[in-house]
Structure 1
Amino acid sequence: MKKLLLTMTAVAGLALASNAQEFGFDKGNFIVEGNLGFNTQDNKNAEIKTTNFNFNPQVGYFVTDKIAVGIFAKVGTSNEDNYGEGVDIQEKASTFDIGAFGRYYFLELGSRFKTYAEVAAGYESENGETVTAGSSVKDPKISGFGANAGIGAQFFLTDKIAVNYKFANVIGFNSSKVDVDGAKATTGFNVNLNSFENFFNSGQFGLTFKF
């Protein structure tokens, strides 16, 4: 009987400790995040194979319990291989972005689930080349500026680690120019409300580490 009471007391203590554990952020916390994306598609009808990869790390600091600011980077590669023309033609591109972001946590659903709005702006660059039968020709460099706003959500697995999901950008603006004499800038503005209907197709999963 004594052993049973001790066991029940220990289980109750663990349950209370688990329930008392707080999930979230405090002023002075740091976060390190990373979103990774990869896809490949081989269209045998068009005889074109495409491969894309991107990695988006970022570091943030909480200036209040609900507001974080930080810096981000994004690297990506893409390859389109047209193997149906008798001569293999590949269009390759690599991208690099760097900038700053601000984030506001506005809704909590339970103790572990947090949602936020985020704005970001930064420098963008792209280098490309066309490879025909093993012979490479460099494409002109493209550089520019971009800004966007979107929302995301986090689910805490522990008090230090959360699964992060970033929806597609709801609002975005960009301006870019090809690095050749006489080139003019190309600008674009978009509002993507469809991200709420197809968010699993348009967003990215990642991990958040709190320090």
Structure 2
Amino acid sequence: MKKLLLSLVAVSALAFGAQAQTEKGKILLGGGVGFNSTKIEGASKSDINFNILPSVGYFVSDNIAIGTGVGYDYDKQVSKGLLNQSFEVAPFGRYYVGLSDQFKFFGQLSVPMSFGNYKDVDDVTGDVGDKLGTSTKIGVQLAPGFAFYPTKRIGIEVSVDGLGYHNLALKDEATGVKSTSETFGLNASTVAPRLGVMFHF
């Protein structure tokens, strides 16, 4: 099976003021955007995932920020015959540790939640059919990362998914039957880290 994977994830943040970027009272504005496409052998269409998650945060004390992200996820899996579309909310807390004037380590604890519906997809043509049911996904994610500040106004951030737990509940539209699945794992791959650029004003 030939696979074509294109991944783009961008996270940006803005901190206002002339002092330290992670000082009490500062504001973080940012977001993430992602796109993946996988070519399926024998099918005329590819699996496609697109998501966008703008976020805002506030430093409640030096090096500690809390906030939330609100966004949308579109996940069309021709190979599994499903399309899932969902609204996402991801409250988070972030803690920074200064390693030097230009480098900071951070840990981010988030509670990603998504609420959506899933539909039937033809596994050959990729045509979308009837609504099959609704989906609810709630999780907890602990993600580490590093922030590099080449100047006072520009920062570059690299992070990985880290340790996570997710609970997925599906409700069948026709029968009303619910099914759940749980996943727990560590994803600290350095092959596909998330990269972000931050601008500080």
Write the letter of the residue equivalent to 2:182. G
| Percent of matched pairs sharing the same residue | 26
**Matched positions, count:** 180
**Deviation string, structure 1 residues 52-83 (Cα, Å, up to 9, x no partner):** 2222221110011111001112322122346x
Q: TM-score under structure 2 normalisation?
A: 0.73
Secondary structure of the 2:111 match is: strand
Q: Which residue of 1 aligns with 2:83?
A: 92
Matching of residue 35 in structure 1 with residue 32 in structure 2: yes
For the residues of structure 1 that align with 2:103 and 2:71, how far apart are their CA atoms?
Answer: 26
Matching of residue 67 in structure 1 with residue 64 in structure 2: yes
The CA deviation at 1:164 is 2.5
Which has the larger share of strand? 2
The CA deviation at 1:172 is 2.0
**Deviation string, structure 1 residues 37-66 (Cα, Å, up to 9, x no partner):** 212122436766222222222111001111
**1:193-208 matches, cutoff 5 A:** 194-195=187-188, 198-201=189-192, 203-208=193-198
Q: Which residue of 1 aligns with 2:94?
A: 103
Aligned CA distance change for structure 1 residues 49 and 60 (closer, same or farther; 3 Å):
same
Q: Which residue of 2 aligns with 1:127?
A: 117
The CA deviation at 1:104 is 0.9
The CA deviation at 1:179 is 5.5
Secondary structure of the 2:61 match is: coil
Decide which moves more: 158-167 or 97-106: 158-167
Decide which moves more: 41-50 or 56-65: 41-50
Structure 1 unaligned blocks of 5 or more = 1-20, 83-88
Aligned CA distance change for structure 1 residues 128 and 205 (closer, same or farther; 3 Å):
same
Aligned CA distance change for structure 1 residues 152 and 101 (closer, same or farther; 3 Å):
same
Aligned CA distance change for structure 1 residues 96 and 27 (closer, same or farther; 3 Å):
same
The CA deviation at 1:182 is 4.9
Asked which structure has the greater CA Rg, the reply is 1
8 A Cα contact 2:112 2:141, kept in partner: no
Structure 2 unaligned blocks of 5 or more = 1-17
Write the letter of the residue equivalent to 1:166. S
Aligned CA distance change for structure 1 residues 144 and 39 (closer, same or farther; 3 Å):
closer
